[in-house]
Structure 1
Amino acid sequence: MNNSFVLFSSSHLLALLVLVIASWLLYAFRHKLQKSARTKIIMRYALILLLTGSEAVLDIWNVAEGTWSLQYTLPLELCSLTLLLSIVMLLTRSRLLYGILFFAGIGGALQALITPNLGYAFPHIRFYQFFAAHILIVLASLYMTWIENYRPTWKSIGLTMVFLNIAALIVGIIDYFLGSNYMFLMHKPSTASILDFLGPYPVYLLSEEGIALLIFTIMQLLFFVLPSKISKAGKTRGHSAG
């Protein structure tokens, strides 16, 4: 039996479908959820517990398997950082963290979900942990958007780029001294990823900057700018008809 993860296999596509369904349910029932303070508290702390649990499962598994090491299992990948910060965001309801995580968290987690750097196929525990953790990162920011009514600004994109570069600098220094490759700052991952299309090292690091800025801009337009314009246009037509 092949235990290696296969990109866009039936189990991979099913995991992506789980994200789509969970996101749709959150959006479809947003108005009902907004009305109940108790429900919002329960949902917020449920996300906190699930995010914490997913990280704990990874650490426990690495220790149990004897694979824990400074070079490979510290929480220094972008998605590990955004997962931990998502917990802090949900606990504190920080608007500053939200503005960063809406872009860095969702953008990074979606890239990881579509092209996972994962060596284990369904039904391995690492398969479940990987997809659960990344789906929860996305849902944490969507919860703050659709249920708590938080909104990022254009300034948030700039802050996100600053955050990413500071994180890359710090993690890059750690990579240098540990001989590690967190955030793929030293070389590309061994599995297929979007980095394969961005040129050789270190060109792909610069390409990532431009792509990140483009993706964040598109997210701002699709999630907030265009819906706002469409809503205003509809209200204007309604007043005109009246």
Structure 2
Amino acid sequence: MREQPSWLDAQSGEIFQAFSPPHLVCIGIIAAVVWLLFILRHRIRSRTGLRTLLRWMLAAILLASEVCLHLWYIHQQVWDASRTLPLELCSITLLLSIVMLATRSRLLYQLLFFAGIAGALQAALTPNLAYEFPHFRYIQFFVAHGVIILASLYMTWVEGYRPTWKSVGLAMLFLNVCALVVWIADVLLDANYMFLRGKPDTPSLLDVLGPYPYYIIVEEAVAFVFFSCMLLLFRLLSGKRESISEEVTTCE
């Protein structure tokens, strides 16, 4: 039997190192692409064909990343309902981001601007990842999480959608509904999706939020504060960079 390449092997021994040079490069690439989208937003917005192409490209990348991940699970014989179903928050927001981009749903935007960006950003900074660069899972992980962030920012900067205080409430409601549904799945599958039954083995923000199960309650407060800060920052930057007339025009 031919030995498979190490970048694809599920038993690869190279363990992810937080804030290593490859990790910092990935964070830098995501930040650079976000900045590029921001500075090109007017040009993209004014070209209908380019705008449509970019929207579908983002959706296609998200879909391809999820499909490739599950094909990899199957190929490596590691698919397991207790570990590989798309029941993590970022997996849920990834799938909903595809729908949002395809349908330009304003309701999904209200949820994903906060839950999608915040969840994917936290995951990119403190990944629950067992593989080091250039493993397939490493690349797939950062591509998927980076594009989750880009999806909501595209809808904001190019399509002209805007988050509101109502969006914060909807996002909090969304998180709690997701947590309830996923917790039921965790119990039925003896799983730990969304870390509702224990902390991850790798370092994460949860390490500073207290022991189980109290960190789940603290997460609620942290999410609300973070979402509120995101909205205030967005409004501050919008006030400095966007004229009122432009904002009205892009929301129509």
CA displacement at 1:229 relative to structure 2: 4.3
CA displacement at 1:57 relative to structure 2: 1.0
Aligned length: 234
Query: Which of these residues, 227, 231, 238, is aligned with residue 237 of structure 2?
Result: 227
Matched, 1:125 2:136: yes
Q: Kindly report which structure 2 residues correspond to 1:82-101, keeping only aligned pairs within 5 A, or say none.
A: 82-101=93-112
Task: State the alpha-carbon separation in 2 of the partners of residues 48 and 212 from structure 1.
Answer: 26
Q: Deviations over 1:111-165 (max 9, x none)?
A: 0000000000000000000000000000000100001110011000000000100
Q: For residue 79 of structure 1, what is the amino acid of its counterpart?
A: C
In structure 1, stretches of 5+ residues that fail to align are 236-242
Task: State the alpha-carbon separation in 2 of the partners of residues 2 and 184 from structure 1.
Answer: 24
Q: Kindly report which structure 2 residues correspond to 1:162-201, keeping only aligned pairs within 5 A, or say none.
A: 162-201=173-212
2:83 — aligned with what? 72
Q: TM-score, normalised on structure 2?
A: 0.90
Taking only the aligned residue pairs, the percentage that are identical comes to 53
Matched, 1:110 2:131: no
CA 1:191–1:209: 2 relative to 1, 3 Å: same
CA displacement at 1:8 relative to structure 2: 0.2
1:59 — aligned with what? 70
1:18 — aligned with what? 29
Task: State the alpha-carbon separation in 2 of the partners of residues 234 and 95 from structure 1.
Answer: 20
CA 1:95–1:45: 2 relative to 1, 3 Å: same
Q: For residue 233 of structure 2, what is the amino acid of its counterpart?
A: L
Task: State the alpha-carbon separation in 2 of the partners of residues 164 and 47 from structure 1.
Answer: 23
CA 1:86–1:232: 2 relative to 1, 3 Å: closer
Q: TM-score, normalised on structure 1?
A: 0.94
CA 1:186–1:146: 2 relative to 1, 3 Å: same
In structure 2, stretches of 5+ residues that fail to align are 1-11, 246-252
Q: For residue 46 of structure 2, what is the amino acid of its counterpart?
A: K
Q: Deviations over 1:69-102 (max 9, x none)?
A: 1100000000000000000000110001001000
Task: State the alpha-carbon separation in 1 of the partners of residues 38 and 173 from structure 2.
Answer: 30
Query: Which of these residues, 219, 228, 233, is aligned with residue 217 of structure 1?
Result: 228
Q: For residue 201 of structure 2, what is the amino acid of its counterpart?
A: S
Q: Which runs of 4+ in 1 moved over 2 A?
A: 227-235
SS at match of 1:40: helix
Q: For residue 74 of structure 1, what is the amino acid of its counterpart?
A: L
